[in-house]
Amino acid sequence: MDFLKTLAIAASGLRAQSGRMRIISENIANADSTPSTPGGDPYRRRIPTFQLEYDRALGVNLVELGQTEPDSSAFQVKYEPGHPAADKNGNVKLPNVNPLLEMTDMREAQRTYEANINVITATRRMIQRTIDILKA
């Protein structure tokens, strides 16, 4: 039964990190977007959160992707009077996405994802060895 708990916990970590990578990818994809209307707000960076979910059947806490929250940091402003999204002063608001930060977050999510895969692989090997011992 402990093997099942370990697999469930690692699988929940895989799902959570996969969702985190999806949100980070959306941030990166929108890093260069501009508002659709003059003076409007551009894409606002989203921050993934995690929460615990108790699995009553297994009796363990699992991690899951929680609500995504908007990053409240200020937008970047660039002076481009000829841009279609420029306000009356010629300024264009750009997303508050820092590609370097996003790539760092993506690498961390990837490493955590890989760690969960390693846990699943190790657990599978232990199960297989246990079965082999019981067969002998």
* CA angle centred on 135, ends 129 and 136, rounded to 5°: 95
* Candidate from 32-36, 68-72, 96-100 with smallest mean pLDDT: 32-36
Q: Which residues pair with 7 in a beta bridge?
A: none
Contact status, residue 27 vs residue 102, Cβ threshold 8 Å: yes
pLDDT, tens digit (0-9, with 9 covering 90-100), for 35-93: 988 888 999 999 999 999 999 999 999 999 999 999 999 999 999 998 999 999 999 99
Confidence of residue 33 (pLDDT cuts 50, 70, 90): very high
Q: Which residue ranges make up each domain of the chain?
A: 2-135
Per the confidence metrics, is the pTM higher than 0.75? yes
- Give dist(CA 45, CA 95) in Å, integer: 7
Q: Give a three-class secondary structure readout of 68-117.
A: CEECCCCCEEEECCCCCCCCCCCEEEECCCCHHHHHHHHHHHHHHHHHHH
